[in-house]
Structure 1
């Protein structure tokens, strides 16, 4: 158990370090050029597809899914015992819930301008402590929800673990394509989602 605890901490530290080293150059040099490159896509078929993909990880969809998963996991545990199946179902609910809670607080704390604000008046960066939608870009909520669910599914599925992760990546890309997020927002969201899934798995399955 001690080795697993250390490996989980090490994974988190390395993932955080890698995320920081990716976010900094994107924030300083690449976020705006990418946003400018996708901006002309506004109103095109690509954006319509992006919106459909984004919908898969919208807050209402994920909250509804996690609510029923939480009920299913609790009932399964009470009736059949909290074995691997019940804990897997609960993890599918708890990881996105934790990611959403953390993500909402970080969005408020950083208060980062969304791309539309840049194209409207040139504002870019952080305002700090803002609950305004157009100042809640960092991290991407859709991405953290998608990656938290996808990472849990990768843990619990016996085969084709890569499919949910591919869907999560597509959700992250869609947020940039539709012009709602910068790439660094997506990277941070992915890190939060994966980390919540990893730590949730550690706590629920550490006895195995």
Structure 2
């Protein structure tokens, strides 16, 4: 007589579930584990920073931007396009290709795990940046704030909603929003280097002010929006156990060195 092998009931059920059903079960399990996140505190803080920048810094910088050092403007102009969506996606594609070539040198089992995890990380960063870009461009068109280039005609209160065109797309800064999403995503993935990533993001945002195409409040709003979206997407991924796990305090914790479960 042959011997029968049995599997734990949970294993059989797990195998019968479709991928999206397994993800849904992961979400349900993790949904009750997280603590309350300070969304309201973050929103109030970011809003107050934007308002203060608007009231205190926009006018003097709007008046002074034409008198900045040409050398400083040249340096800022050389780095500012890092915040373009196309530039960020191209950089992500290059990093993905290089990482994939390195992974292929590993053993088959190790390669399979690393490739899957790399794809999820790229998906997280890309989703954060692309979502931010879509939202910020809809907002800036709807708000229609005149750029500092038109300060003499409009001042800081020049708003023409749905005007369209480059000169009326100042608030929020799309470059700054993309940068905020990218570098906060990297800070969440690699917390050891979070101060470096945040510092680089702030300087890239400031480059939009230096070259005279955005007010400080535009940049502050863009950075805050991008940061918020990257954090929210990280929370979503952590609920499914993808890329991040959920800490006891509710914050996403990177799973860069852990198996996929």
Alignment TM class, shorter chain as reference: 0.7 to 0.9
Q: Size of the alignment, in residue pairs?
A: 201
Q: Check the 8 A contact 2:143/2:159 in 1, yes or no.
A: yes
| Paired residues for 1:54-69 under 5 Å | 54-66=80-92
TM-score, structure 1 length as denominator? 0.84
- Residue matched to 1:122: 154
1:46 counterpart = 2:91: no
Give the deviation of 1:204 after TM superposition.
1.2
In the alignment, structure 2 segments of 5+ residues that lack a partner are 1-29, 104-111, 246-261
- Structure 1 or 2, whichever has the larger Rg, is 2
Please provide the CA RMSD for this pair: 2.7
Are residues 126 and 86 of structure 1, via their aligned partners in 2, closer, same or farther at CA, if it must alter by over 3 Å? same
In the alignment, structure 1 segments of 5+ residues that lack a partner are none
- Residue matched to 2:206: 173
SS of 1:112's equivalent in the other structure is coil
Are residues 202 and 69 of structure 1, via their aligned partners in 2, closer, same or farther at CA, if it must alter by over 3 Å? farther
1:16 counterpart = 2:49: no
| Paired residues for 1:65-144 under 5 Å | 65-66=91-92, 80=113, 84-119=117-152, 121-123=153-155, 124-144=157-177
More helix by proportion, 1 or 2? 1
Give the deviation of 1:81 after TM superposition.
8.0
Give the deviation of 1:95 after TM superposition.
0.5
Q: Check the 8 A contact 1:176/1:183 in 2, yes or no.
A: yes
Are residues 68 and 130 of structure 1, via their aligned partners in 2, closer, same or farther at CA, if it must alter by over 3 Å? farther
Q: Structure 1 segments of 4 or more deviating over 6 A? A: 68-73
- Residue matched to 2:34: 4
Q: After the TM superposition, which of the residue ranges 127-136 and 179-188 deviates more from structure 2? A: 127-136
| C-alpha distance in structure 1 between counterparts of 2:77 and 2:85, whole Å | 13
